[in-house]
Structure 1
């Protein structure tokens, strides 16, 4: 991580390999379509990353850089890319925080790539907070964002990642650490078929209502998917 601003925003993402991303969407779509869709999630997530002027932008990729998606200098000119290090998600996030603070950043925020409709303003709110820890709770029992100020707070050990108690177990550890916490508005991740169908309706609602420009790349592809089956319509 290279320090230019006092804050760091880290997008946690997977390399878009067919059959390795968003596998829980399998009952609805084929692996190639799911991978194309996740690529659009990444496009929208990177767009948010570039729009947060308060922070240097980073992308932590897991498990490796294989596909070449993150090798386009023009698209990623203002973003630094690294491979996540650690045995599980908690260890990988912990290492990213430790590295960010070691580089001298005042606040480090990690955001996931599962919420293409997430308002970029929620990310900006995390950087305005003066609390030790900021959490963006997700409707599935986890969180879409976690931020820390000044130092790493030990909150990642012993968490069953991917379960519905991630948020509640994390709160227990934050309370035990005795640090201040701020909660962002609740949002939703997209992991299951029903999540994807809701996302499509939500993005179309935002478009019709003249709302936020979030998720435009994702919506463009969703408009061409037949959700009555697994047919991918080009």
Structure 2
């Protein structure tokens, strides 16, 4: 039996007005004030964090049950980490979480460093691997429609690839050729260099695929999860969140209650104009 540690990494900035979700603000073509944008992100951060903790609890329970049935099964511990920058923001992030605590799991904090987003992301992964974690799955705080099963399946796929002796990679795209979830093992020959912010015109998803092919890394693909940067993203999310809420009693889905309550409080309703830009229908409509 081997003792193993897995980490869920939430990579995020604190929800400070004027610093987060600025493309949702009126100054940049959106519909929110900077304070509303920060409040939306704060609530999304809370909902995504709670969902991740529920997933980690499920994984922990499954491992505990497997070990009870077979003591030779590896003992796995799942932990929840938040990484932010600079160091002063750690206290702000801690206060953000403490404001509505206690939480279902202990929250650990990191400060990531670097000269680019790719550097910061790599640094957070490297710190966790140095702390003894053999598997890391990372998400952002702006994906309130994230399914809990994505977190569960991400760790399960990485565990499966490890069992084959070929440490792998897992990803879920966002809606614009980027990613909403990525994860890999300590032994996986993967990094984030040249991936984000399209510095050479290459989408993040394509950059990862190129790295996977070049190194022969096995990978798992999960269904896309939209992040929320633009007002159209927010409209799409509102409709999806309503559908999640409606289906939850039948499917056992996690409902992002804090974001939904904020939407109701603000009074947002999604409307779409009549669409005349479609294929001809005179041959099929009576």
Q: Please, what TM-score do these two structures have when normalized by structure 1?
A: 0.87
2:151 corresponding residue in structure 1: 123
For residue 83 of structure 2, give the secondary structure of its aligned residue in structure 1: strand
**Mapped partners of 1:94, 1:49: distance in 2:** 21
1:151 corresponding residue in structure 2: 187
**Mapped partners of 1:146, 1:160: distance in 2:** 12
Distance 1:126 1:217, change over 3 A: same
- CA-based RMSD: 2.2
2:241 to 203, 213, 218: 203
2:128 to 97, 100, 123: 100
**Mapped partners of 2:255, 2:118: distance in 1:** 28
Q: What aligned pairs does 1:159-198 form with structure 2 within 5 A after superposition? A: 159-161=195-197, 165-198=203-236
Give the superposition deviation at 1:75: 3.4
* Preserved CA contact (<8 Å) 1:42 1:113: yes
Give the superposition deviation at 1:61: 1.9
1:69 and 2:96 are equivalent in the alignment: yes
For residue 265 of structure 2, give the secondary structure of its aligned residue in structure 1: coil
**Count of aligned pairs between the two proteins:** 225
For residue 117 of structure 1, give the secondary structure of its aligned residue in structure 2: coil
* More displaced 10-residue stretch of structure 1: 27-36 or 51-60: 51-60
Higher helix share: 2
- In structure 2, runs of 5+ residues without a counterpart are 60-77, 162-167, 270-286
* Preserved CA contact (<8 Å) 1:37 1:218: yes
* More displaced 10-residue stretch of structure 1: 19-28 or 212-221: 212-221
- Structure number with the bigger relative contact order (C-alpha 8 A, sep ≥ 6) is 1
2:15 corresponding residue in structure 1: 16
1:82 and 2:118 are equivalent in the alignment: no
For residue 21 of structure 1, give the secondary structure of its aligned residue in structure 2: coil
- In structure 1, runs of 5+ residues without a counterpart are 229-234
